[in-house]
Structure 1
């Protein structure tokens, strides 16, 4: 099928009358959709909480370890008593 034929087929399908949906199917879809939204919302909240916790843990670690400070040299002994 080339592009014009595919477009024509899609137009024919879209021009047809929509099929009727059984009422019990509609209720089931609404129930599943709301459950999916609740799960997605909970997953996003958990993700943001974990990202916030990781950020706080990193800041605390950085303040305790201070990786930006150069460690003291341990190759030469300190000069004392001069």
Structure 2
């Protein structure tokens, strides 16, 4: 198919009557979009709650365990100078 034939085919397609759109297409799209937004909001809230819970749990653990201090030695140092 050469260029003039393609252009003629495209003109024929564009001159046709537009395809019929189902009457409930808009309401269905709105319903699906709202459902997706609700689901996305729920996932974001759950993830923020999980992050907040992890931060609080870490803070409580760090306050009780004190991981920044050096643990006590398990052996006694050698005694010299007797």
Alignment TM-score > 0.5, same fold: yes
Q: What are the ranges of 5 or more consecutive residues in structure 2 without an aligned counterpart?
A: 1-9
Q: Secondary structure at the match of 2:64?
A: helix
Relative to 1, partners in 2 of residues 1:72 and 1:32: Cα closer, same or farther, differing over 3 Å?
same
Partner of 1:70: 70
- Equivalent residue pairs, number: 64
Q: How big is each residue's C-alpha offset from its partner over 1:52-72, in whole Å with a ceiling of 9 and x where there is no partner?
A: 000000000000111000001
Q: Report the equivalent of 2:29.
A: 29
Say which SS state the counterpart of residue 24 (structure 2) adopts.
Answer: helix
User: TM-score, normalized by length of structure 2?
Assistant: 0.67
Superposition deviation, residue 20 in structure 1: 5.9
Structure with higher Rg: it is 2
Q: Deviations over 1:18-64 (max 9, x none)?
A: 86642211111110100000000011011000000000000000001
Displaced runs of 4 or more, over 4 A: none
CA RMSD of aligned residues (A): 2.4
TM-score (norm 1): 0.67
